[in-house]
Amino acid sequence: MKRSNFYKIGLLALFVSLNLTVFAQKKWGGMTLYTVRNEMGKDPKATLKAVADMGYKYIEAVDYNKGKFYGMTPLEFKAYAKSLGLKPISVHMGMMTTSNADQLIADVKTAGFKYFVAPVPPMGMFKFDPKTRSLSMTQDLDRLVGVLDTIARKVDAAGLKFLYHNHAFEFEKNANGIVPIDYMLEKLDPKYVNFQMDLYWVTKAGVDPVSYFQKNPGRFKIWHVKDMDTEGRFAPVGKGTIDFGRILKNAKLSGMKYYIVEQDMVFDGMEPMEAIRLSREGLIKFGFK
């Protein structure tokens, strides 16, 4: 073979190698640390590094206690995430009240998060029955709307964005014949309150997510992306029955800015880290970028 051909082959190999390296290092997509909560409880820094090494770009936090995120001060958490190439995007603040909101908001902002999220109705307006594992919410929707509006205006004043995260019960008629999510969408000003749509729980409620995008365009800024198996259990993205491809085609209509992989529980011997790895493969399958 001519020396020039060897030279060309060498250049081609180098080009392919460089491009594969860039591709391997490219980070994209988000995940919630709730899925790996047990791992975060044991070794948060090692777990965050594993998440970063897997290729995720942004994260959602769920643990805040005595002014710290996973045992780190807001500045420490922000700095460590940045060192790994991870961007804090959203944080679930289930302990929020109209009284403590100012301090929570300050810490959330310092840690570098963009979205301040109510994971359930706050201030005692949500109940979980450990015996039946059932979830329920208040019938007093006016009080709920009032509390969310009050906190959301504080969040907005701090330069952050407020979202409400759904489960299935918000899509089911309550004792007064009202669908809570519809009431909230109608009464809450989109300037201050928008929504994090959990696609699993919407599907679990027997509702088409796209129908809500059509009725309320632009209101669903973050999606929780997790699949549902044939038994109705949580599953990695792409290992269940939800047609994420169809939903993704309506991302612009929904107002979606970020999507976050979540799996509340794992089954059949699967480990949480394996679940988020499989979900990342599923994201590729459906065209998430």
**% of the chain exceeding 70 in pLDDT:** 91
Could you report the per-residue pLDDT of 10-38, keeping only the tens digit for each? 444 444 444 433 444 589 999 999 999 99
Residue 218: phi and psi, rounded to 5, are 85, 0
CATH of the domain at 138: 3.20.20.150
Residue 2: the pLDDT is 52
Is 111 inside any structural domain? yes
List, as one string, the DSSP characters of 12-72: HHHHHHHHHHHHHH----EEETTTTHHHHHH-HHHHHHHHHHHT--EEEE---BTTBBTTB
Q: Does 73 reside within a domain?
A: yes
User: What is the DSSP secondary structure assignment for residue 286, as one 8-state letter?
Assistant: H
- What percentage of the chain carries pLDDT values higher than 90? 89
Q: What is the pLDDT of residues 81-130, one digit of tens each?
A: 999 999 999 999 999 999 999 999 999 999 999 999 999 999 999 999 98
The answer to whether residue 7 sits within a structural domain is no
Phi, psi at 53, each rounded to 5°: -65, -25
| Spatial separation of the C-alpha atoms in residues 118 and 181, rounded to whole Å | 14
Any domain includes 227: yes
**Residue 56 counted as domain residue:** yes
**β-pair type (58-61, 87-92):** parallel
Domain count across the chain: 1
pLDDT value at residue 133: 85
Does the residue 19 lie in any domain? no
267 domain-assigned: yes
Residue 190 has pLDDT above 50, yes or no: yes
**Is residue 6 assigned to a domain?**
no
pTM of the predicted model, to two decimals?
0.91
Q: How far apart are CA 48 and CA 77, in angstroms?
A: 10
Structural domain containing residue 106 = 27-286
